[in-house]
Structure 1
């Protein structure tokens, strides 16, 4: 679709004249700000400030606040065969550091003097400690797609290293987490954290009552504030939003005129805004630029530039040497994928005029030696590992000088395993292998198994029905490792490869104390090393060149499955 405002090239790239939307954009931003505050006031007017948080005193020196913890609920939740604890109380929100314990918090808006420096100190608190808890970790937010529709989903993530630490989290039970202005009222958000957790001790500390002081350190040279009272919904919004509304309204400032920011050099010159959603090499030609409303014949291609996040990126411009952007001339550049849950686009700017732009270095890939040999495959190593099961491994021997070192030195998260008391007494994992090159070299194979029950283990390992090494033997919660080679036909192309672990015999722990020992043995990870074709998947292949000795000629490399470099263009 082409018009005077811009051109939609594909779902990967979008061009728009920078100067075409200036006036419209300013009007939209103004409308958005007014709508946002009106919505905030309407929302706040329907809310009640948390009754567990009370203002004891509020004046120009600070605010004294009292918090009482009521109705704390702790429930168990099973995830990947591990029991976690969900902790909450009425109207709470939660800590959100991904992978760390998700603990309940309360937040409240406070109005503060415009020029004051803010600090928080605890006056008094009472608490109790309970042990044996494992709070559920805060999830990551990832962008998923279903039926062509993008949505935000929760992804389970756990910071294993953090869950080994011996300190209280969060470190502060109250803190200022935001400062800003709502119109002419300076506001802060006070976050109260009445529940702390010590991962190493598995201890919850619950504060039944907290008395704190938010201190104001005033600047004597700052202009005096005066109350600015609004009508109707705006003032009702302040009243419902601010815990200390009565005193805070006298700390507002009168509106002042502000100067407009100077225009950037980018805004003064014509430029095209490029939206990139996928990683790859993109091509812009004469017709694309002309279709966006720009006359390419008036562009000196030697001055073409592309910037990303304020920095110029190297580009390739075909046909620039004559100083004219003619039919058949084009621009190529590398675009990065946006890895952000809040947008699908990375923004690049194409501009022209002034100094010459930065260009890609050109280097011939033709071997300089006539005796160079062609390489058709490379050595690939693939690691398969997932963290789904957790166990404390209490029978691991510890250092007498540092009895707690066993926990920090061992991996306590595992993929799967052979369940205790299971009649099947085995486990199978499927995994994919791609682009196997025909050769006579046996694949490399590594695996790590860990015992759970406190007895001797005997396990047979096989890949697609081919036995791996000798019978695996080890004792208790020690680690068993295999590092060797497997038969050439023990792996196959596609998704249907199978790793099978089978227990041999029985022991006295079978079917007993399954709460403490839910599994007999765990699979931690395995690695596969094999020769792989130089075959690109979705135009991408990461590889390293074979090691060369100075006396041997260089190798030439040919890639299969690579499409043309103009794949960013819609035909």
Structure 2
């Protein structure tokens, strides 16, 4: 049986301000400025590939001088161990069913003598970090043939919405290993010829939105020419998934902090100048958000099919109107937090590597009834009352990228000359004199013995020591990642707690990073400024929870385990500014 961690929020509801509402806008697509069409007709086109400028750099890699060449907009060849050649890449539309041939009309080159071009590196993963190792393909670097042997590569035809397209790759340079020379092409003129296929000139094509046209214009080099080659759009092309959203105005706002948010009519009227509040049907108010998590990188991984509607609570006084004092209540969260791993039965933190804010979309004029919070009823309280929960804290900051590439970003940097750092943690509900569990991840930038002395509130509780890696031949850097787990008792106090780091190294050149740390500690079920978020770890049977320290009796309880299907809890006992409820 899969066990889910239940997540609750109890609060006296307050008003949170949101960013001003805005209309949806789509960014324009980019273009390839190095490729220019010189001539086109029904059976082909002529293209000039001209780099705007060249970048030529010579670097020392493990005692070898290697030359790197590039130009703006280039795509680098990614064949491990082979010369890193910059390519022009252009997407060209062709008639449906046509075959493509090419010929080079003109080429102008300039030699770079006495150089050895840098190879594409071998990517290796060591201790959860990626390192680059430069190896040389002997057949290329020790041979007599120019690389690449062909300046032009044409991909097989593919489908791009209503178009058939090819990708044209033109090498910006060639490497001559025997002469230790790079031929740098300042201009290549290419003729593409199309044979066969269907040319649909004069055929009426289905209308496309301006956003679609901008997409095509930015992606297809011969956009104007391609308009006559589009496949006619069938009547069933529109997605039924979007039918309920068509003709709807969306208002976008951002959320960074987790909380229960309240939007009333007065706020809407003051922030949306075009809104006529009397025309808002409370039953048609809808809210959309996809949870704030990163999309999984694997292309086949499951992901939301468009926008996910979130359950909300709409309080309109029962008169069917949305007046100034009526309001929308919903659960909002940021892009970082915790999730429960049912296999390991432990909490793990997550962040979003690409943004700090979670985007929400509010609709006030749709034609479909909105999703509303369902009611969950408290069980019958009984037995011992649980008055503490699993406290959680983590820090992961993406400050430093030592390789200036890839996904490996780290937080605080330490060196022998700058060895100290402190992190202040606000833990208002921490229970003193109890055990705290810690997880740390550090990264060493170089070899030698790296050490961290760890203190909490000036009390030393652990030493983390590990050896770094030395770069092998051809490697630029060889990082070492190391995880540590510690526990200690009696370190925390309710309120501000200070975690202190002191770095050591057995030589003068040591450098290391803090990647992240996690803390797990017992905490009291006490409201802080009239609200409390807490997890209830899966357990057998019914458990009774008691939360105190609210400022009034107006306490509301929500099950926020599923961000899109939040439930309002009823049947709880409220007395003496506290709430007691039971749940499995």
TM-score calculated relative to the size of structure 1: 0.49
Name which structure has the greater RCO, CA cutoff 8 Å, separation 6+: 2
Higher helix share: 1
Q: TM-score, normalised on structure 2?
A: 0.48
Specify which structure has the higher proportion of strand. Answer: 2
